[in-house]
Structure formats: C-alpha cells, structure tokens
Structure 1
C-alpha cells in the first residue's frame, strides 16, 4: 500500500500505482476536476463517492477514508478497550502507557481514535495523582474539542478539568469549570447517566460546607433524587474473566470476538462505577452543614454501604464513616458519633491520607464536648497529618481543612503554641508557603 497520508494522498497514490489518469478514475460518474480537488485536499468525498473510488482503486472504503484496513482499525479499537479496562480495573500507569502507544501508532487521518486515546491517557494520569500533567492534557484536549467538536465532546473534558483543579486546590477554577459544565448540561437536559453523575460529583465537591441553596446544589439534588445510591455488587470476578477471555481471543486473532468480550467487561463494571460515583456525591452532600439531618443521614449511610462492598474503596468507606460521625454530631448524638469515628480509625489502619486524622478530630470534639481530655486524639491527628507528603501540584485542600480544624481544637484547650503551628501548617497545605517569605514553620508539638 502507498503511504497513508491524507485521503487525497491515498487516492493519488493508489491511482498512480494502477497507472490510471484522473479521467479514468472519474469514469462516467464523476468529473476529473472533482477527482483533482479530492487529491489536492480541497474536497472530501462523501461516503457514496468513497465507496465508488475504493472499488475502482482496488482497496476498501475503510482504508480510503481512514488510512487503515478493517483489521488494523479493529485492533486499534481493541487496544482502546483493553487500555480502558486497565484504567478502571487494573493499573492506571499501564493504562497510560497503552493509551500512549495507540496515540503514537495512529495518524492524523484517524483523529477520532487518537482523540479517544489521548482522553484515556489524561484520565490515567489523573488516576495516578499526576494532576499537573493531567490538567495540561485535559486543557489541550478541550482546546481541540472547541476546534473539532466532531472528534471530542467538551462536556466530559470540562468536568474532568473541574475535578482535577479541585483536587489540586484551585477551588475557584474548579467552580468556574463546574458551572460552565452545568450550563451545558442544563441546556441539553442531562440529569441521568454517567455525564450527569460525574458532573454532580464535581459540583458538590467544589461547594463550601456552609453553602446553602444554589443552582449547582439544586442540580446535585436532582441527580441524587433521580438515581439515589443503588446497592453495589462486586462483579470483579466476572469483569476479569471477560477481560482474560478477550485477551485470549485477541491472541487467537479473533479480533471481532475480542472486542465484543472487552465491551461486555466494560459494561459489567459500569453499574458499579456509577453507584460508587453516586456514593461519593452523597457523601459530599452529607458534609454540607446546610443539608437536613435526616437527608444527610440517609445519604451517607447509603454511601457507607456502597463503599463497604469493595476492598478498593476501603479508604472511602472510612471517610464515609467519619462524615456519618459528623452528621451524628450535628444531630446531638455524641455516643453514635464516637462509635462511627472509632470504626473509621480501625478501618483506616494504614494511616495514609487525612482519613484517620479526621476521625481523630471527631473523637477529640466528642471528648471536649463531654469535658474529657482530648490531648491524645489531637496529638495523634497532628502526627498523622504531619506525615503526609506535600502535593507536587497545587495544594491539599482536605489537609488544609484538617490542619485548620486541629488549630481550632487546640485553641479550645488553650494550647497556643500547638494552635499556631497547626494554623501555619494549614496555610502551607493550602499552598501559601511560597508567599510566606522568611517565615519558618515550627512543626514541633510539645507533649
């Protein structure tokens, strides 16, 4: 076959290989000037004309339009699906490599497949916590979506960017993007499905705990009311069996069956992915101080049940128990609140992230409200927070919130030195350290 290039390059290359003139290729159905325009890239053949030209040039319509034979295209589609399975149910680092391989192998004529692979790679970077690189990738894709809406949908990209900026600590940018996505969703009346659920999660994550009614929260509530938080079923065995069967079919050169099996594996995981995303949305909703107690109780309890099913969501299960403990504090139930916080501490025995620290803060609040000594809980929370790695990109808003609350609690027991240290740590976690020239943070807590 001649060099792929553009559609015009392929038409011209195949015609010259067959020693045909433009008039001969045009035949009685087309004009030779029209063929000339196609070869120069000034016209794109319609599907009917493409089939006609493909017949006369002795190639497939697929090759003429896309630069690859059907087998090549289906292998690329299969690669995309296996990379997606790796992202959702395997190793995001491997998924990123596979998406990158597809991008390198594809050419300009296969812009749709390339765009999907680049979107997958950006999501894989986000899943690895490489937020700086993920943001750059999503921003490039969003610019491309504006120029080529036939290749990429802007709405999922905007939601993904909002999510990344939120996790990187740029809350204002996250809110702006989420609001922009909401405008698109409202215009299209999107309140169900993956896009709606992902948008609801991004919107509620970008809200402050004290915020009340707003169009953004109204949308979140509509999505939650429509879908609620369904039970999670662990279908990981089925998913991996289908994935393995797809790989075996591909090895046996049965690409069509391999694609079908990979699609079945992806669909088998869809309901669980949606349920977990709804659980995250419900958990963040329950964090809102303005959420009615009964509603917050129902939603966070459903979220906890969802996270309890899968080992991979153990950290979120612990987080949901802590949120539930805070809801019970608001309800004036310190006994139940302490029990939930203690369960969260036991579940998050790996001591990673802010989950254990936040549970300790709740236990400290309960102790202080009872007039008991909370020093041990406070110092443990300090040690847990102090072992966190500093974010490579942006700030750690959740850590900043915990440090600030820790400072408030140290203030309640009049531990001024520890209070000041916690507040400084809060500023540092929020990304303010670079603006604090000449200030040395004293991380020592005297017991």
Structure 2
C-alpha cells in the first residue's frame, strides 16, 4: 500500500469509529467527494487538510500520518535516543539489544525514516560487537532501499569499513569507487571526503601504496576546495596515516600536526581527545626517543574523556597509550596503574578491539618479574581473538601478541600466535 492509501485507510477507520459519515466529516470546509477520494487513496491531502481532519476526528495528526499516536512517537524517539547514546558511549552490546528491541516494535513498521535510522544504528552496534557478517547483511538491505543521499553515503562508509575489517578488500574498494570514481560522482562534501578516507584505508590494507598516496593527494585537494575544518582535518589525518603506513614518518608528522591544529578549532572535545591519542601513537612510532614529550597530549586526552561521555574504546585507547609512554620512559608502576584502569572499563568485546591494553600489561608485569600475571594477560588476548573473524586487523593483533609472548619467554605459545597471524592474513 502507498502512503496515501495508508493515510486514507486511517481516516476512514477513525471516521467510522466516531460514527460519522463522509458528508459529516467534510462539512463545511470540504466536499464529501473529496473526503471519499482521500479515503480511497486517490488524493493526497495537503498538510493543512490533514491537520483539519485530525481536529474534526479528535485524533493526533501523528496518527493519521504515521499510524502511531504522538505518545507512541515520543516513546519510539526516546528509545532510539537511548540506543544511540549507548552506542556512542561504547556500550555496544546494550546498544545492539536496544536497537533490536525497537525494530521488533510494530509501531515502527510504517515509520520508514525512523526504521531506517534504527536499522543503521543496529548495523553499527552489530559491527562494534564483532559480528561483521550480520552487520554487512543489515547494511546491504539498507543499501537496496530508497534512502536520503547523505544516509546512502553513511551506509557506503560503513560497508567499506566492515568489508575492509573482514579482509574482503575487493568489495571494500568497489563500494568506495562506485561512488567516488564513477562518471557521475557527486560534488565533494564532508561525508564524501570521509568515504574517501575509508576507501584510502582499503587501498593501504590491500597493499596498493602507490594508489593510496595518489588518492591521499586527491583528498587533500578536495578538502582544500571545500575549505571546511571537518574535511581538512580528515584529509590531513589520512594523508598522515598513508605517509606513516608507507614509511614516510616525518612527513606523516607534518600532516598529523595540521590535522590536530584543525581539530582544536572545532567545538568537539571528544574528537580532539581521539586525535590527541592518535597523534601520540604516530609520534611514538616516528620518534620513540621523544616519548616523554607526549605525556601532556595524552594526559589532556584522558582528562577530556573522563569529563565527557566518550566510548569505552576511546578511553581505553588513551589510557593504554599513556601507559605505553610511561612504560618506555621507565615508570613501570604508573604504566600498570593506567593499564589496569583501561582494562577495568573494557568488556570482553572491548579486549578484541583494544588488545594493546593486555599487551602492555603483559610486558609491564614481565618487566617486574611477574611471569604468571604477564601470561594471564596475554592468554586473555588470545581468548578474545579466537572469536574475531580473520582480517588484516586481527592478523596484526595476533602478530603483536606473538612478539610479546616471545619477549616473556613463552616460545611455544608465541609460535602458535604467529601461525594464527599468518592464517588471518591468508598465508
């Protein structure tokens, strides 16, 4: 049934419940024939006519348009808000349950826009829970629907990202290139630059470094043309990521510092905190001898995240990076303090997203001669990675775990972890 059919059916149903004829409902503002055409779905009433009919029928305008009362609509929007908040705060299992419960509500069936918002949220929460196949299935369903242009790009970004994380690199590249490299590419916008950044990461993971560097330059040009802080920060950060990935670490620092400066001009403290953490990670790799200079950046990032509802993953990353810097500068006790603080806020799912926390704890306990405790943390990573689908990211986690196991003297477990890394990389 079309929207007009549904609206007409609701008007007809309520009119009969009220014991009114079409002529009585129409009089004096409308003709009974016009009401008949509306009820049969042959005419689409204007907003003014719908409001008039709602008043005459003593029902809510929301019910005539959407099939739900104003109170039901408020409940749906409130539930959707809670689900989004849970996802934003890193409570991914809770978010997934809330989105799924909302989709099971029959009142959502006729609310196409809200239903699509809920399904998209469910896809993101499902991805965050590590269920890539189900996330892809949801996103593919949404991709086949008539959705607004901006949501279409958001779906493409998510699909490109999940395909890349699942090591389905050909599909990841196809999703991005279909929009960005076709003859009818839309004019550059902030969301399109973000899609470009996601495609760029797929090129890097695929090993197409030449194309990645060319595309990073294209994104920088596009961002300069747009001139928006969001696009400029994203393009500069991804140019930094590309330069770092291809071994140009000093060049990467230049781009990263620009991105950090641009982000500091925005009114998004949480984004700035994430950027500070990412910058510290990059600089730590490029200039390990300057690790102590990163403490201010990381302390600020941790402080902002403690004062705002950031995701547990972001908080754990900042605390872990701070712990790693403290560890390499010789403050093992402080490193353990922050490492255990990161561990406390991570769920079992979070361990697979932030294995570096357990790696740091393993190394720090090993440095204090606590081999059993070090081994416990490394086994926790292995258990978490068992349930993670094979991908480039999981291969890196297995490899880092193998190196750490080797460092603490557990050669047998280290060899097994190296084998798992090779298997995840398809070797």
- Relative to the length of structure 1, the TM-score reads 0.59
* Counterpart position of 1:430: 425
**CA–CA distance in 2 between the matches of 1:346 and 1:232?**
32
Say if 2:205 is the partner of 1:206: no
Larger helix percent: 2
Counterpart selection for 2:396 from 393, 396, 401: 401
Counterpart residue number, 1:106: 107
Structure-2 separation of matches of 1:341 and 1:203: 39
- Secondary structure of 2:110's aligned partner: helix
- The Cα offsets for residues 326-365 of structure 1, whole Å up to 9 and x where unpaired, read as xxxxxxxxxx9964998988854659554268879x99xx
- The answer as to 2:160 corresponding to 1:162 is yes
Matches within 5 A, 1:295-374: 304=298, 307-309=301-303, 310=305, 312=312, 313=314, 315-317=316-318, 339=329, 348=339, 354-355=355-356
1:275 and 2:272 equivalent? yes
For residues 358 and 57 of structure 1, the distance between their equivalents in structure 2, rounded to whole angstroms, comes to 66
Offset at residue 10 of structure 1 (A): 1.0
Equivalence for 2:127: 126
Q: Find the aligned partners of 1:89 and 1:128 in 2 and give their Cα distance.
A: 13
What runs of 5+ residues in structure 2 fail to find an aligned partner? 220-233, 238-255, 307-311, 345-350, 365-370, 406-410
Taking structure 2 as the reference length, the TM-score comes to: 0.61
Listed as ranges, the matches of 1:38-437 within 5 Å are 38-89=38-89, 91-103=91-103, 104-144=105-145, 147-149=146-148, 153-180=151-178, 187-191=186-190, 195=191, 199=195, 202-203=198-199, 205-208=201-204, 211=209, 212-216=212-216, 218-219=218-219, 220-222=234-236, 225=258, 228=261, 230=263, 271-276=268-273, 278=275, 304=298, 307-309=301-303, 310=305, 312=312, 313=314, 315-317=316-318, 339=329, 348=339, 354-355=355-356, 387-390=382-385, 392=387, 394-401=389-396, 424-430=419-425
Alpha-carbon deviations, 1:274-301, whole Å to 9, x = none?
33554577578779x9xx98xxx9xx99
* Aligned CA distance change for structure 1 residues 75 and 420 (closer, same or farther; 3 Å): closer
RMSD over aligned CA atoms reads 5.1
Per-residue deviation, 1:116: 1.9
Aligned residue-pair number: 351
Contact 1:131/1:168 (8 A) holds in 2:
yes
Q: Counterpart of 1:153 in 2: which secondary structure?
A: helix
Deviations 1:183-242 (A, max 9, x none): 699834323xxx478547634543427725222464243477567464699xxxxxxxxx
Say which SS state the counterpart of residue 75 (structure 1) adopts.
Answer: helix
Q: Is 2:391–2:424's contact at 8 Å kept on the other side of the alignment?
A: yes
Q: In 2, distance between residues paired with 1:273 and 1:424?
A: 38
SS in 2 for 1:214: helix
Contact 1:12 1:39 in 2 (8 A): yes
How far the C-alpha of 1:15 sits from its partner, in A, is 1.9
- Once the two structures are TM-superposed, the CA of residue 115 in structure 1 deviates from its matched residue by 2.1
Distance in 2 (CA, whole Å) between partners of 1:35 and 1:63 is 17
1:162–1:178 CA contact under 8 A, matched in 2: yes
